[in-house]
Structure 1
Amino acid sequence: MTVDLTALETAGTIASALLTLMVLSYLFGDNFLFRIAVHLFVGVAAGYAGALALRTVLYPRLVLPVLNDGFSAVTVIFVVSWILVVLLAFKAWPATASMGSLPMALLVGVGAALVVGGAITGTLVPQTLAAMDSLNPSAVAPLTGETGFERIANVLILLIGTISTLLYFRFTARRGPLGEALHSPLSVGVSYLGRVFIALTFGVMYAGALAAAIAVLSERVQFLVGLLLGFMAG
């Protein structure tokens, strides 16, 4: 039995065009077609994630060892893993959902630990090391090769931005005679500068996300125009 790849490619192209139009219909407000497209995307993503977890984690780690080595592959970790999987499956029914709290707590805890660890090793430590860079004009930046005034300016901006941002999140202050919070003009100015750096950071992040969204929209519009011209050309 042979599969007509041309027919499959044509069907895939038509489905892509229809889904693109259904998503773009949100420009006219929330509607039935947009909700269908969203449900399809969520369902396909969930199905793909489930199949990937089954193929790359559950089957090779919990089933394949028993098929290859028999019960000699059963260890304490193997049994605990199966117990956690079974308990997590009870989350599918409201009456037994409480039994899946332990594996869910482990998943959330491990995920939070990974996020915090990644933030510390990937952001906090590099940011601290970058703020400790030398102000010697003759020094050379190891990554960019910058020297002189350009390197000093970058180091100062990074140092001032880091310190002012940290001071912006300082919530302690001296109390005045009437119990009011007293902040020195210097701390107020530095905190305001930190707020400026935070605003610039969020602005750049938003601009990057918006630019990526516009790029995707442009690609989809070009796809629809090219498809329409191709059908019109015969």
Structure 2
Amino acid sequence: MTDAQLLELAGTAVAALLTIMILSYALGDNAFFRLASYLFIGVAAGYAGAVAWHDVLQPRLVDPLLAAGPGILSDSNQLTGVIAPLLLVVLLLSKVAPTTARLGGLPVALMVGVGAGVVVGGAITGTLIPQTLAAMDSLNPAVVAPQTGETGAERLINVLIVLLGTVSTLSYFRFTGRSGQPDAGRYAMRRVRTPLGAIPIPWPFLPFLGEMFIALTFGVMFAGALAAVIVVLIERLQFLAGAVSVLLGSFLPAP
């Protein structure tokens, strides 16, 4: 058996052992599961640290600092591009010690603020607006009919379901009463102001229907997640069966 085959065999054995250690959690929390979990966390943390060093810290902080040398203090571009990040890194490292932890509040606040801005902006431009436009396009026969081939009563029913589901789901998250209705309950009748005047709408019905749509959505999502977990479990069991077959075939003599 060559070295490459031995290395591949060792990798298969280690992967099978780690898989068994993780699956042992089905019998309850135990030392083998914790050992495998700590190993995965350590490898992930080490990989993240290596990526941060090679892709961020070394090319954008250490290398420019070493290349500029003492003259960096006289270069305004280097001051803002290297010295300022270096100071933020030093302040962030001060969070390690309890006595200097307050100094790390500035870089943490900066990271949280930038992260929140990116997340909110991404949610608006990448999720909220596209989903709103998609909901509007679903009511346009000229857009949907060429894609699905739905026409007539079938298309009308689907459009009504989408419209009713969207409106009722949004109405479920309305928790405040209208002006002049301070005692209006969550499912009380409401009067909505329109250009035609205050129009009563069946508010007790809409939130309840929204709850039904939300429950159906969560049920479908849970079923999808459960199906994905079962697929992964089956794949791991098949891997274990194949690994046992390979290991036995490698060490036991052929008949």
TM-score (norm 1): 0.86
1:83 is aligned to 87
1:227 is aligned to 243
Moved more, 59-68 or 45-54: 59-68
Instruction: Indicate the structure whose relative CO is greater, using CA pairs within 8 Å and at least 6 residues apart.
Output: 2
- Aligned-residue identity in percent: 56
Moved more, 174-183 or 106-115: 174-183
- What is the alpha-carbon distance in structure 2 between the residues aligned to residue 143 and residue 67 of structure 1? 61
1:183 is aligned to 188
Amino acid paired to 1:81: P
Residues 1:200 and 2:225 aligned together: no
Shift in alpha-carbon separation, 1:103–1:155, aligned structure 2, 3 A: farther
Q: Does the 8 Å contact 1:140/1:147 carry over to 2?
A: no
Shift in alpha-carbon separation, 1:26–1:143, aligned structure 2, 3 A: farther
Counterpart mapping for 1:150-165 below 5 A: 150-165=154-169
Name stretches of at least 5 consecutive residues in structure 1 with no aligned partner. Answer: none
Q: SS of the residue aligned with 1:230?
A: helix
1:111 is aligned to 115
Amino acid paired to 2:242: G
Name stretches of at least 5 consecutive residues in structure 2 with no aligned partner. Answer: 190-200
Moved more, 72-81 or 113-122: 72-81
Amino acid paired to 2:34: R
Larger radius of gyration: 2
2:50 is aligned to 51
Q: Does the 8 Å contact 1:87/1:103 carry over to 2?
A: yes
TM-score (norm 2): 0.79
Shift in alpha-carbon separation, 1:142–1:4, aligned structure 2, 3 A: farther
**How many corresponding residue pairs?**
231
Counterpart mapping for 1:167-182 below 5 A: 167-173=171-177, 179=183, 181=185
Alpha-carbon offset, residue 102 of structure 1: 1.5
Q: Does the 8 Å contact 1:91/1:97 carry over to 2?
A: yes
Q: SS of the residue aligned with 1:171?
A: coil
Moved more, 49-58 or 184-193: 184-193
